[in-house]
Structure 1
Amino acid sequence: MVYEQAQELKEVGAGLVLAPNAVRLVRRLGALDALLDRAVPLDVGWEFRRWADGRVLSAEDLAGSCERLYGERTYTVHRADLLSAISSAVPTGAVQLGRRCTAISIHGDSAVLTFTDGTSVEADVVIGADGVHSTVRGVVTEPSPATYSGMSAFRALVPADQAPDFARRRAQTLWIGPDHHLVHYPVSGGNAVNLVAFAPAGDFTVESWSATATVEEFLAEFAGWDPRLQDLIRQAGTPGRWALLDREPLDRWSRGPVTLLGDAAHPMFPFFAQGAAQSIEDAAVLARCLADDPAAPARALQRYQSLRIGRTTRLQEISHARAHVNHLPDGPEQEARDAALAAADPLVQSGWIYAYDPDTAEAGAAV
């Protein structure tokens, strides 16, 4: 049974990149066909452009290389479309809405969940997939508040007919410059362009999907950047804005019959576009561990932790480091970075990410 605090499953967030490691698991779940009408297969990825003039520093051919190397394409999707596709594989009645868990207590081999309405449920296994502000995490490990990273993010969807040609291409493009970067790609079957941008937070500390900014605030962060990019931002409607939270990697995800999954276990900066993919991987590995050892769920949860924690910690760390690389000011270090980008093959270098398959992962070989 899934207990979801929202009153209804509805559109949340905006776009995301669905890389081969996630695509093969969505396919295996039987949900990929439901997504493909709305997903956009990328022809070009990791297209880095210089902030001031849009000069292409590096670009990766994904149209043929990705499938040849990893057996799957890379897609961009709207989060609502991915949610709809995955939920289509969930049995009717398996999700209870409007159920916000406020406390968990462990009693021997089971756990009791208490909800805001005063009701409680006893469960053999509890999986906390309740995000960066996880209630369940406090049962598994010592509670610690998230810290603010000093960065904030803007997000927006631009209707395709209002976006310039360069933004409508089947490409994931990253504009990088001093203290900022901006990513755009098409979603919703090509009917919209997703924007997500990162900038210094200043005194802004709101971490909420519902917080908004103005186009003027968004534009001010990218003043002096390529005019074409500013033209794209002007079509952003009412942008969302949230502060990026930071957490140190955990050294434990499971305690008895309780474990963590996704952002509750390993929130990561979105600079490798792997947050959603790692949650999907978690779910696949967890399902396999529980199926392989149904008589001893606590042992299965420990095995799940051992298989996943090294890999997600590595991704947390490299995603964190990428902020510095993307945001270098102009100068010798920036020039060296640009030369390295031009010489790199990120599709091959990231093979440890994209080739991962839970069906062949071994204990202790999580990276």
Structure 2
Amino acid sequence: MRMKDMRVHVVGAGIAGLAAATALARRGATVTVSEQANALEAVGAGIQISPNGAAVLAALGLESQAARLGNRLGAVEMRDGPSGRPVLRLDLDAAGYDHPYRAFHRADLVGMLAEAATGAGAQIRLGHTIGPESPIPDDCDVTIGADGIRSALRARMFPQGTAGADEPAFTGNVAWRATVPLESYPAPMFDGAADHARLFMGPGRHLVCYPLRARGLLNIVAVEERRAWQAEGWMYPDAPENLRRAFVGMGAEVRALLDPVEIVHAWGLFRHPVPDIWHRGTCVLIGDAVHPTLPFMAQGGNLALEDAWVLSETLAKAPDVETAWRHFTAQRLARVRRAVAAAGRNARIYHLSPAPLRRALHAAMGLAGRIAPQAPLRRFDWLYREDVTGGKG
């Protein structure tokens, strides 16, 4: 197929959609992005871009912008939540990845990708809704569904009861997200000497935090196991007291992190099976529209970036659209399923109880880290060292 003759419609101006629009427009395609929101506003909070996702940003020519808008995370410090004791330190800087591990405010990352997409010639149409019953536009050659976890295009392509339809199940976990000005904390807590992500593990709950330097914020994500069902989605306000109450059994540092929280949102975590089929006719799904993952590996945005690059490659090389979709799915399916499964396993490790079992596991993790400091990270070489661009950055 000739990319310069191809008309592409991307549904959704999030990370997946904008990265795909940029990659395809730079190959010569005529790209239109439809987004239901009326503006690309500063919604959401922090997002981690690991080396596999950073490889795509570099290949898109965005390394300098990424370095300006995102701050490098040098390590992940894992601690026992109730006692505050160190368990394991994952030294990201010492791992020798080809690309850095960074933290962004989601709005900054989306803004950077939007600028790249329009700079490459893509057109972004805001306030443009495509519902489950909307006809697929007939003025394009291919349609890419990148409209997120509640994908209207997916519902249109795969009605309930058909192969490929999404049938999520509540995991019994509810998450909160919040951002707090760094100035709300005593200087020693986040002095800027070295930005690390901190993970506090406790019985049936955990908390992750890291700085977002470009915005002067601390990003907090906290998860609690519970039986009560909570709706899926990021925009449900909750009372900060509910968050603090859920973590009252954690140590002094966790309580100090949560004390200044004034605005918080909560959402239910659902397990979505990754389907075998990602396409129908001239339409294909990418990112959270087809394989949303639990946040315990911080890979949602990274897998979306990988999808976008691989899709542009397969479209450029395949003789026809059907072949492109088959090659794209074949390249992505096993890797995505492995990442989704790894996230599920992490949830069990983070929330382990009872206390004797948790202490034994933490002791074993700490001993392994002291004997071979890089061994725990090497378990994830298959994830972080993968470069779907072939080193084109």
- TM-score (normalizing by structure 2): 0.83
- Give the conservation status (yes or no) of the 8 Å contact 2:59–2:389: no
Q: Which residue of structure 2 aligns with residue 161 of structure 1? A: 183
Alpha-carbon spacing, 1:299–1:93, altered in 2? closer, same or farther (3 Å): closer
Q: Which residue of structure 1 aligns with residue 265 of structure 2? A: 240
Deviations 1:262-291 (A, max 9, x none): 111111101011110000000000000001
- Aligned-partner Cα distance in 1 for 2:180–2:267: 18
Is 2:174 aligned against 1:152?
yes
Residue number among 344, 367, 374 corresponding to 1:320 in the alignment: 344
Residues 270-349 of structure 1: matches in 2 within 5 Å?
Answer: 270-293=295-318, 295-342=319-366, 343-344=368-369, 345-349=375-379
- Any gaps of 5 or more consecutive residues in structure 1? 106-111, 114-119, 362-367
- Any gaps of 5 or more consecutive residues in structure 2? 1-31, 370-374
**Shift of the alpha carbon at 1:206?**
2.2
One-letter amino acid of the counterpart of residue 322, structure 1 = N
Is 2:123 aligned against 1:98?
no
Q: Which residue of structure 1 aligns with residue 384 of structure 2? A: 354
- Give the conservation status (yes or no) of the 8 Å contact 1:163–1:193: no
- Give the conservation status (yes or no) of the 8 Å contact 1:17–1:75: yes
- Aligned-partner Cα distance in 2 for 1:341–1:192: 30
- Aligned-partner Cα distance in 2 for 1:43–1:269: 23
Q: RCO higher in 1 or 2 (8 Å CA, sep ≥ 6)?
A: 2
Aligned partner of residue 353 in structure 1, secondary structure: helix
Residue number among 219, 223, 226 corresponding to 1:194 in the alignment: 219
Residue number among 62, 82, 93 corresponding to 2:109 in the alignment: 82
One-letter amino acid of the counterpart of residue 126, structure 1 = T
- Give the conservation status (yes or no) of the 8 Å contact 1:32–1:85: no
Q: Which residue of structure 1 aligns with residue 43 of structure 2? A: 12
- Give the conservation status (yes or no) of the 8 Å contact 2:286–2:308: yes
**Shift of the alpha carbon at 1:75?**
0.9
- Aligned-partner Cα distance in 2 for 1:167–1:147: 38
**Shift of the alpha carbon at 1:5?**
1.0
- Aligned-partner Cα distance in 1 for 2:177–2:340: 21
Bigger mean CA offset, 163-172 vs 90-99: 163-172
Structure 1 runs, 4 residues or longer, greater than 6 Å off: none
Bigger mean CA offset, 337-346 vs 279-288: 337-346
Aligned partner of residue 43 in structure 2, secondary structure: coil
- Give the conservation status (yes or no) of the 8 Å contact 2:310–2:328: yes
User: How many residues in Structure 1 have an aligned counterpart in Structure 2?
Assistant: 344
- Aligned-partner Cα distance in 1 for 2:376–2:114: 32
Q: Which residue of structure 2 aligns with residue 60 of structure 1? A: 90
- Give the conservation status (yes or no) of the 8 Å contact 1:12–1:209: no
**Shift of the alpha carbon at 1:2?**
1.0
- Aligned-partner Cα distance in 2 for 1:51–1:97: 43
- Give the conservation status (yes or no) of the 8 Å contact 1:207–1:245: yes
Aligned partner of residue 279 in structure 2, secondary structure: coil
- The Cα RMSD (Å) is 2.0
Bigger mean CA offset, 95-104 vs 300-309: 95-104
Aligned residues with identical type, % of pairs: 30
- TM-score (normalizing by structure 1): 0.88
- Aligned-partner Cα distance in 1 for 2:307–2:166: 22
Residues 32-51 of structure 1: matches in 2 within 5 Å?
Answer: 32-45=63-76, 47-51=77-81
Bigger mean CA offset, 283-292 vs 168-177: 168-177
**Shift of the alpha carbon at 1:300?**
0.5
Deviations 1:4-31 (A, max 9, x none): 1111101121001111111111011112
